[in-house]
Amino acid sequence: MRALAINDISCVGKCSLTVALPVLSACGATVDILPTALLSTHTGGFTGYTFLPLDDEMRKICDHWETLGLKYDVICSGYLGSRAQVEFVRETKRRFLKEGGLFVVDPVLGDNFAFYKGFDESFAAEMLSLCAEADYILPNDTESFLLTGKRDPSEALAELAKVCPHPIITGADTDRGYELFYYDGGERRLPLCKVEGSFHGAGDVFAACFAGCVGRGMDLKSALALTVEFCYRSILRTAREVPDKKYGMNYEKELSIVTEAFKE
């Protein structure tokens, strides 16, 4: 299975491509990468970081790939630095996704009910139009709100289901506790164990594992079960082992859960 991960390279802080590569590889995928930007660190919690957008290079890379005839079983996109990049990802999907391949979009916009630095309402609208081309979208509770204007996860899910067949809200507080919401012909929920605190990069770990699972042919329910298990164990380990959470998740020693599931 050949996967293309479109995301930034944050050199420090374990997120985006530095997570997508190992996690998708653990699923048994051959992973190619299309970097959207090069940063010294991610933007969540660090100051003074460098940021080099790679728009021109992305176009040249894709033009070269076209001469190689590359096609992907799964394309997953994450952090995009501008509206032009969102448009470029849409084009990349059309050029490089195999007939019947899967497009997984993590609409990276924000957390804790605020936009990440550099994003605003017009960027969210552009991201929503990319979601409309996806088979699966993986917003967190903040992103589902920023995309739909609905704080209630059931209402947000119903709105997102109008544009994408399988929206997945990766975690939201409800009167029943902490739950994952997904749409599979109707609303479904999965109870989650909430670990107190904020875990930077958790969304990227989730997205990479999920994209690998569905790319390898797992059904939606099994893909979510494995992804939730992998993320939960990684979060527990991070809570124990990482004093400064902006340095990202300690997921590496939990990768065996994933490799075990994809031994064949």
- Number of amino acids touching ligand PXL (CB under 6 A): 14
Read off φ and ψ for residue 142, nearest 5 degrees. Answer: -60, -45
Whole-angstrom distance, CA of residue 208 vs CA of residue 136: 12
Query: What DSSP line would sit under 169-206, residue for residue?
Result: EEEEEETTEEEEEEESSSEEEEEE---SS--TTHHHHH
Report if residue 204 touches ligand PXL, rule: CB under 6 A: yes
Nearer to ligand PXL, 28 or 35 (CB): 35
Chain position carrying tokens 């992305």: 58
Give the residue nearest to ligand PXL (CB).
44
Nearer to ligand PXL, 108 or 220 (CB): 108
Q: Please pick, from the candidates 171, 203, 212, 215, the single residue that binds ligand PXL as defined by CB under 6 A.
A: 203
Whole-angstrom distance, CA of residue 214 vs CA of residue 51: 32
| Per-position x/- string for 23-42, each x denoting binding to ligand PXL as judged by CB under 6 A, each - no binding | ----------------x--x
| Per-position x/- string for 130-169, each x denoting binding to ligand PXL as judged by CB under 6 A, each - no binding | ----------------------------------------
Q: Which ranges of the chain would DSSP assign to H, the alpha helix?
A: 16-26, 55-68, 83-96, 121-131, 141-148, 153-160, 202-215, 220-241, 255-261
Q: Please pick, from the candidates 3, 4, 74, 79, the single residue that binds ligand PXL as defined by CB under 6 A.
A: 79
DSSP 27: T
Q: Please pick, from the candidates 4, 10, 139, 157, the single residue that binds ligand PXL as defined by CB under 6 A.
A: 10
Chain position carrying tokens 């992973």: 31
Binding to ligand PXL (CB under 6 A) within 41-60 occurs at 42-44
| Per-position x/- string for 87-116, each x denoting binding to ligand PXL as judged by CB under 6 A, each - no binding | ---------------------x-------x
Smallest distance, ligand PXL to C-beta of residue 100, A: 29
Tokens of 39: 């940063």
Smallest distance, ligand PXL to C-beta of residue 76, A: 13
Chain position carrying tokens 């605020």: 114
Q: What is the largest CA-CA distance in the chain?
A: 54
Q: Which residues of the shown chain bind ligand PXL in the complex (CB under 6 A)?
A: 8, 10, 15-16, 39, 42-44, 79, 108, 116, 201, 203-204
